[in-house]
Amino acid sequence: MIQDISPKIYHNEFKDARPADHDFILVFHKNTVLVRYQDGKLRYPVLTELKAYSLTYHYLFSIDNYKYFLACFPCVPAGNTDGNPPAVTLPGYTYEDVRIFRTADSRHTAFAGITAHHLFGWYQSNRFCGRCGQEMTSDHRERMLFCPGCRNMVYPRISPAVIVGIVNGDKILMSKYAGRPYTNYALIAGFTEIGESAEQTVQREVMEEVGLKVKNIRYYKSQPWAFSGSLLMGFFCDLDGSDEITLDADELSEAAWFHRDEIDLEDDHVSLTREMIMKFKEGVW
């Protein structure tokens, strides 16, 4: 999966650090990232390439001994609806949709990029206090934004969600999302609601999206999924009763039962969903 970058080691401990000349800098413009290709692999700019720009930087994390920072632009006034300020431009670099991280050859580079984009979204959404409107400041002891006016504290948002493999003998239910860029088959999924356990989320999402009851809910594995700012929890469960599907057309474009032998192999080694589907195909679950 995308976070499996061994033998490289991801260090997410907070540091009140400033970038050195050859530290990597992540520059985002909305849902795009500034990159260039070197020997067929993605490469991010380093600090020396950005000296011409008046930017500030947030330390993000390290992978092995390489540090990654987020480029920050001057703050815009509260109520400004123009979005992000003009993007940095560098010779040889282009802005690519962050979905390239799903297929990038270098696993640790892709993981660094999409994790950085998760934090970019958090910083962008919390420039001003949601309680009193004052400009937020960065804490120097932990990854937290602090309001000097009302003392509101805001931490990175991580949304718990479930991925559900519904098993019916030698068949598994697969579906396609309605109105989303991702068009391949996936498993039933959804976010956990207030006051709900992950297992209750499984039962509710399955009933809401395909009208089925399930039993024998068993945990498989989890995955940080920065594309949606989520922590995904994978579960397998067994069909309980009728296998007749009642489709929620607002959420799904289609859903159907597939025998193990009908499941196609796909070159997708980044997602929990695909790993679960492959485990079922192989007869492991």
Residues of the chain with CATH 3.90.79.10: 159-281
In the chain, alpha helices (H)? 107-125, 198-210, 272-281
- pTM score: 0.90
Q: Is it the case that residue 78 has pLDDT exceeding 50?
A: no
How much is the average pLDDT of 214-234? 97
CATH T-level assignment (fold) for domain 159-281: Nucleoside Triphosphate Pyrophosphohydrolase (3.90.79)
What per-residue confidence (pLDDT) applies to 80? 47
Confidence of residue 84 (pLDDT cuts 50, 70, 90): low
User: Region 68-89: what's the mean pLDDT?
Assistant: 68
> Residue 82: is its pLDDT beyond 90?
no
* Reported confidence tier of residue 267, pLDDT bands at 50, 70, 90: low
Grade residue 75 by pLDDT with cuts at 50, 70 and 90.
Answer: low
Whether pLDDT at 77 is above 80: no
Residue 277, by phi and psi: left (phi above 0), alpha (psi -120 to 50) or beta? alpha
**Percentage with pLDDT > 70 across the chain:** 95
Task: For residues 95-123, give the mean pLDDT.
Answer: 93
For residues 78 and 68, the answer to whether their CB atoms sit within 8 Å is: no
Q: What is the average pLDDT across 192-199?
A: 98
Instruction: Read off the tokens for 144.
Output: 């937290």
Q: How far apart are CA 249 and CA 73, in angstroms?
A: 41
Q: What is the pLDDT of residue 265?
A: 77
